[in-house]
Structures are given as structure tokens and as C-alpha cells.
Amino acid sequence: MRDEDLIGLYEVAQLANVNTSAVGNWRKRHLDFPVPIMQLKSGPVFQRRQILNWLRKKERPMVKVIALFNNKGGVGKTTTIWNLATSLAERGKKVLAIDFDPQCNLSIAALGDEEFAKYLESSRELPYGKTIRAFALPYIQQSAPGNPYIAKPKHNKNDNLDIVPGDFWLNNFSDILNVGTDVIGGAGLYRFLMPSSLIEAVEREFNKNYDFALIDLPPSFNTLVRAALYSSDYFLVPCTPDLFSAYCVGLIGQVLPQFIEDWEQGKQRYLESNSYDTVIPDKGQPKFGGWIFNGFDTRRKTRSDEIAKTGADQAQFIKVQNSIENILIPKLKEIKAYSAIPDFVTKEPIASIEDLNVMAPDSIVQNTPIKYLSEAQPTRENVLSGSWSPNQRKLMKKMDKQYDELATLMIEKF
């Protein structure tokens, strides 16, 4: 633990903008106030992280951290985060989107490839650029406090959405983390809470109070995914109508309980000698917030105005739904450390996003989320006519409504 992580009563009072008498009263009145890690002649000594965590809980509801996770690629994780974050921001919620995927698709889509390249540039003053690496590398090496950086989306209608730019270096970061020593052994639990610490650092550095933090993840079960899930309150699972989605959902049901068992082992070992810690006991408890069906096609039923999924996509939908109901949910219910399935979660998807065809790549090329895409002229490379058709505008509006409804569900239920 670094010296700058330790503070006394006077520093606690400064952080809270109160006098030391008020801090003394809090210690007497609030049973959950952090316990000093040592007692000196000059007074008690606290861990800065625990004090900041307690103060945030006292002042306002904590930021809800949601990871979008599927070990299968191409299921729409990045697209979902981008458009969901936009819908939450339009509803007045403060949102932080974290690009925790080494592919950096979220950064490229939201910021633009040229703009994102500037954040990657390093110099003597900025040895790690202005990406997630600038915070994560010093944090993991414990050599110095990391510097958090945020960026604004290229096309932004309000000031509610910030992005932590990703970095291709995250591939190396995943190799640094060690499940056996850090998690199961309990020696480096905070190394696996880097995303949570990053959110705290951003809020502190830029005087932000986020309502939601959304984490984009690689299609993997690697240590990056573990770190994000241990730091999250909920996780969402995007799926697509293909042969592998149902299988991958079942794998999540097999693997996530093991992730939690590893964390519980390490937590028990850690708390034996760190019983004062008030942060670790609340981490490593990600709840399943539901699944999202992405990229399916529809058709009008014969002699009817009803629109339904195509036969092939409906068949895949049923397979994924059965895997959710019969494998994922039952396996998560077996977790004993906490309740991983909220009451509002069922086998039904919490959002259904149709295949947007040429609109999806055009949205990325123009760095414009679906909510605002109809206001922009399509690029010639994607739409030869040079303008959106009425049916395309109608589909954009319909899918934007799905993202809005998902945002409403999260605001009300999470």
C-alpha cells in the first residue's frame, strides 16, 4: 500500500469538506464508517479508497456498473453499448462508457479513427498517451497513481456522455493479471478491480457523478472479463441468431460460477488479515441483467400486417431462449455467495434489435449513433442513392425506441 493511499482525520475532513468534529460524529453514528487500519499517537489512519467509497455512498447512490459480455464475437456488444449509452444520456443520466476491449471498436466508432489515434500518441509528458493505459499501467505496477482521461463522442447532443478511450495495450494488461495469485490467493484482488478504481479516479479527477458506467469487453473469458465482472453490478448478454449463440450462453452458465468461487476464496483469505476493508466485501457480485437479441431479420406474415422474425432466425431465437432458461439462469441460481438473478429477469430478451443492414456500418463510418443517424446524409460507400429511404428511417426510429426502452428498464430496475 502506497503512503498516498493513507490519510488521517484532517485529510478525511478535507475530502468531505467538513471539520474534524463532523468526521468524529460520523464515526460514532454510522456503523459502516471505515475502520482505521492503524492507530498512531496523532490519531487514526484510514485508507483513502475506503473513505472515498463511503463518502460517495453517503452523498448519493453509487454509480451502477454494467458490463456487456459474451465470449462469442460479433454479437453487437459495442453497438449496444454505444446506442444504449446515448439513450441513457438523452434521458438526463450521466454515463461513462469504458472501452475495455483491446480491439478498441467503441473508441473508433464513437470518437473517429483519426481522433482516437491522437489519444494513443505518447510523448515525454504523456508516456502512455491519453487512453485507459495511462491509468491502468501505473495502477497495476503500483509505481505511481495513474492518470485517468476521458473524451467526448464525436457527435454529441448533450454533455452527459463521456468515454474512456481504449488501448491496444490491453492485450498486455490481460497477461499481467494472475488469477491464481491475485484472485484465488487473495494477494491482488484490487488489481482485478482496476475498472472500479478507474471509475472512482475519473469521478474524482473531473468532478463527475455518474449514474451508469458501461464496460465494453472482448469476446473471451480472459482476465479482462474477470476484472470487469468483479467490478460490475450487472452484466448483459447480447446474442445473435446463429448456431453458436445458444452454446456460448450455456458456457457463460458454466464459467461465471467458477469466476465467483475463485473470488470468494481469495476474498476470504484477504479479509482474514484485512478485516477493516469495506470495499472488497461488496465486489465480485455481478447480477445477470438480461439478454439482448441482436441482428435478426423480419418479414410480414402471409395475409397479415404482423411483422415477425424470419423462420431461420426464429428457430435460433428459441434455441438461445431455451439455453437462457434451462442452463444460464439455473446455473447462476446455484451461486451461494449472493443472488445473481434479479426478480425482473426472465427467459425473454430485454431488448430486440433487428438487423440494420447498411445503416450499421454507416453509423460507424460517420461516428453517429442510430438515434441521430437519420439526420445525417448516408455515405455513398454504403447507400448509393445518397439519402435514407422511408423504410430505413422507419427502422432507425423503431430500433432507437428499443434502446430507449432498455435505458428506461435499467433506470427503473438496476
What are the phi and psi torsion angles at 353 (to 5°)?
Answer: -110, 115
| Helix ranges, 30-130 (H) | 48-59, 77-90, 105-111, 113-120
**Cβ 93 vs Cβ 411: under 8 Å:** yes
> Tens of pLDDT along 58-111?
776 689 999 999 999 999 999 999 999 999 999 999 999 999 999 999 999 999
The backbone torsions φ and ψ at residue 8, rounded to the nearest 5 degrees and listed phi first, read -100, -175
Query: What is the C-alpha radius of gyration for the chain, rounded to an integer number of angstroms?
Result: 23
Give the count of alpha carbons within 13 A of 116, CB side only. Answer: 21
What pLDDT, on a 0 to 100 scale, did the predictor assign at position 382? 56
Q: Please give the pLDDT value at position 386.
A: 72
Exposed, middle or buried by CB within 10 Å (0-12, 13-18, 19+), for 382?
A: middle
Please report how the helices 77-90 and 390-413 are oriented relative to each other, as an axis angle in degrees rounded to 10: 70
Specify the pLDDT at position 385. Answer: 64
Cell digits for 15?
A: 475530502
Distance between CA atoms of 256 and 249, rounded to whole angstroms?
11
Task: Specify the pLDDT at position 119.
Answer: 97
Q: How far is 99 from 117, CA to CA, in rounded Å?
A: 14
At 6 the pLDDT is 87
Dihedral angle computed from the Cα positions of residues 45, 50, 54 and 55, in that order, rounded to the nearest 10 degrees: 70
- Enumerate residue ranges in the chain where pLDDT < 70: 1-4, 60-61, 143-144, 304, 380-385
